[in-house]
Copies of this chain bind each other. A is one copy, B any other.
């Protein structure tokens, strides 16, 4: 369930006019901006961008970028985009990063539905005049490249059929591959990048039933290089992405310094999808409400904005 609270009806022209009042003159009215955009869904935000352009011949995103700053600006910039456009942006930022944040690439590939992922790839074309695979491939090598390329390029079957014998067979292949270390990356990659989500979940369950340990836990003992990490993240995202995101949020706020990039990414990308579910998992795991944790680790407009997206007004 989404955490975003958006009205079923809104007037894009009135919204655009109110936003113009909020950004004109000295200093922007951040409260007004949050009150509007923090309560509009993807379609509504796109209508507002269009109405704003029609009224003022100006790109609302560029205007907000120049008026806002810091974590709040970055969060707003990500939020205002349509979901597929935003994932394309996040993938591109991850790829441009000096030590490539491959976990963002794995997340986008493994959490999105096959059709959603395809729309992200199309959005990447439109935005960067290149394909996503191209940038993934030029920034990686070896087995990590093969895994990431396979994941971002996949168009997995989305049906609910499960082949139990195949699950057994491939759980065995995964077991052998982990046991013999580094000896059969190819088959691990093949299984993860081509089998349907439902089939993979059956395979992971088979593994746990046979060996009494979750495959992600087992992998943890085996290696901590980028390839092993990426495999673990892929399995976590496929198995239960709410749990995966809970962990990302927990890690982002656990250390002394907060990882605002991760915090923003999860809240902004999940707010109109399933942040309510993630909030529940977070509370169950930490006995603290996610909103309280976020409120403690953030401040000012950034804090207000994230809380708004989480459905929690101050």
Interface segment out of the listed A5-13, A14-22, A128-136: A128-136
Contact A194 B157, beta carbon cutoff 8 Å: no
Docked Cα-Cα span, A138 to B189, in Å, equals: 12
Interface of A is mostly: helix
Docked Cα-Cα span, A130 to B161, in Å, equals: 9
Task: Please give the number of chain A residues whose Cβ is less than 8 angstroms from any Cβ of chain B in the complex.
Answer: 32
Contact with B along A139-159 (1 / 0, CB 8 A): 001100110011001111111
- Per the 8 Å Cβ criterion, residues 9-41 of A in contact with B are none
Copy total for this chain: 2
| Contact A194 B134, CB 8 Å, known A118-B118, A141-B186, A149-B150 | yes
Contact A157 B141, beta carbon cutoff 8 Å: no
A37 → B minimal CB distance (Å): 31
The residue of chain B having its C-beta at the shortest distance from the C-beta of A132 within the complex is B155
A116 → B minimal CB distance (Å): 14
A195 within 8 A of B: yes
Docked Cα-Cα span, A159 to B124, in Å, equals: 12
Contact B131 A154, beta carbon cutoff 8 Å: yes
A239 within 8 A of B: no
| Contact A121 B194, CB 8 Å, known A141-B186, A146-B146, A186-B141 | no
Instruction: Return chain B residues, CB-CB under 8 Å to A153.
Output: 133, 149-150, 153-155
A137 within 8 A of B: yes
A193 within 8 A of B: yes
A113 → B minimal CB distance (Å): 13
Instruction: Tell me the A residues contacting B by CB distance below 8 Å.
Output: 118, 121-122, 125, 129-134, 137-138, 141-142, 145-146, 149-150, 153-159, 161, 186, 190, 193-196
